[in-house]
Amino acid sequence: MSDTAVKTPAAAPTAPPPKRDRGRLLKALAWVALLVVLLAIPLYLDAAWLKAGQYMMIGGVGAIGLTLLVGQAGQLSLAHAFFLLAGATGYTVLSGPSDDERVIGLGLDPGLSLIGAVVVAALLGLAFAPVSGRLRGIYLGVASLSLVFLGLYFGQSAETLTGGTSTGRTPEPFSLFGFPFTNGGPEIELMGVPIRQAERLWYLFLLLTVLAFVVAKAAVRSRVGRSWRAVRDNEAAASVMGVSVTRAKAGAFAVSSAYAGLAGAMTVLWFDILKPDESEFGTYGINISIAFLAMVIIGGLGSVPGALVGALIVNGLPQVLSLYSADLGWFSGTGDGALTPILVSSFVYGAAIILVVLFEPGGLAAIGRRITPAKKPHLPEEQDK
C-alpha cells in the first residue's frame, strides 16, 4: 500500500442533547430527589414535625384543586371550605359504624369511603354548576360564598351526620386492604425507626398528594385543560372553536370540589375528629376559603407546583411557629390581644399577597420560571408549566 493511502474519516462527534431535553432531564431528577427526601423524612423527624408536614400536604391537595378552577378555568370560588366539610362528613358517614344509635354510619371500607367522599364532593360541585355556568368574576365569588354559610347551617343542624357542634364524632381510622394506618397492626421498622401512626399517615398523605399532583398536571396538559383555558381567556371565542362553555365550567367546578373533598377527608383523619364549626370562622369557615385563595395567589394562579409552594407557606408557617413558640418566647400572651402563631402567619401571608399583586402577579411560579432561563418565555396558555 502506498504512503498516500486514503485515511478513513473520523466519526462525526455526537451532537449534545438539546437544551430543552437537558432541562427536562434535570427537572425530572430534581422531582425524584425531592420525592426521595420526602420518603426519608419520617426516619429523621419526630411525630410533631410529621404532623405539621401532613397539614401542609392537606393544604397542597386543596390548593391544587382551587388553582385548576381559578387559574386554569378563570372561575373565582370562595366555597372551598364547604366542599372540605362535605368530604370530611362524607368519609366519616360512609366509614362510620352502622350500629351507632346517635349518628348515621354505613360501615363501608375506609378506602372505599375515601373515594366516596371525593365523589360526594364532586357531585355537590356539579350541583352548583347551573350557578357557576351563568356567573363569573366577583359575582361568582359572592355566590359561592353562600355555600360556606350553608355548610355552617348543615354542620350545626344535621347532628346525625356530623355529630353536632358540642361533641362532633370520631371518624373510623383509615386502613387499606386490611393494613391499619394506626399504632395497631403489624410492627414495622425501617432503619431502626418504628413505623407507627404518624409515619404511616405521612406516607398515606404523601401518596395522595403525589396522585393529586400527577392527575392535575395530566388534566392541565390534556384537551380538558385546553378547554378550561380557552373559556378563561374568551368565552365567545371558545364557543366558536367548538368548546362547550357550560360543560367546561361545570367540569372545572366538579374537579375542584373533588380535590377539596379529598382534602376534607384528609383533614378529618388529621384531626381524628369531625367537629362542625360554631361560627363562620373555624375549620370549615370563611377564613379557610380565604387561606386556600391565598395559597394559589402566592404560588401563582394556574401553576400546580406553585399551589404546593403556596400551601407550604400558608399552612406551614403557623405549624412551624407553633413548634418553635416555646423556644422563641414570642407567643406567651393569652386573651383576645395575644400574639399567636396563627395571627402572625395571617399577617405574613397577607403581606405576601399584597407584594405578589403589586410586584409579581404571576406569583412564586413566575419567579421560578425567571430563575430557570433555559425555559422559553411563558405564554398565557402555559401557566401550568
Per-residue confidence in pLDDT tens, the chain, 385 aa: 444 444 555 555 666 666 667 778 888 899 999 999 999 999 999 999 999 999 999 999 999 999 999 999 999 999 999 999 999 999 999 999 998 889 999 999 999 999 999 999 999 999 998 888 888 888 998 999 999 999 999 999 999 999 999 889 999 999 998 899 998 888 888 888 899 999 999 999 999 999 999 999 999 999 999 999 999 999 999 999 989 999 999 999 999 999 999 999 999 999 999 999 988 888 999 999 999 999 999 999 889 999 999 999 999 988 888 888 766 666 666 666 677 777 888 888 788 888 888 888 888 888 887 776 555 544 444 444 4
Gap between the Cα atoms of 158 and 168, Å rounded: 11
- DSSP code per residue over 297-356: HHH-TT-HHHHHHHHHHHTHHHHHHHHHHHHH------STT---HHHHHHHHHHHHHHHH
pLDDT given at position 326: 65
pLDDT given at position 304: 95
Terminal-residue alpha carbon distance, the chain: 62
Gap between the Cα atoms of 307 and 310, Å rounded: 5
Instruction: Let me know: does 161 contact 105? Beta carbons within 8 Å.
Output: no
pLDDT given at position 4: 47
The residue range of the domain holding 278 is 45-177+192-286
Q: Is the alpha carbon torsion for 266, 272, 276, 278 positive or negative? A: negative
In this structure, is residue 100 part of a structural domain?
yes
Q: Is the alpha carbon torsion for 60, 253, 90, 217 positive or negative? A: negative
Owner of C-alpha cell 478513513: 8
In this structure, is residue 34 part of a structural domain?
no
In this structure, is residue 299 part of a structural domain?
no
In this structure, is residue 201 part of a structural domain?
yes
In this structure, is residue 14 part of a structural domain?
no
In this structure, is residue 305 part of a structural domain?
no
In this structure, is residue 20 part of a structural domain?
no
pLDDT given at position 106: 95
pTM of the model: 0.89
In this structure, is residue 220 part of a structural domain?
yes
Domain count, the chain: 1
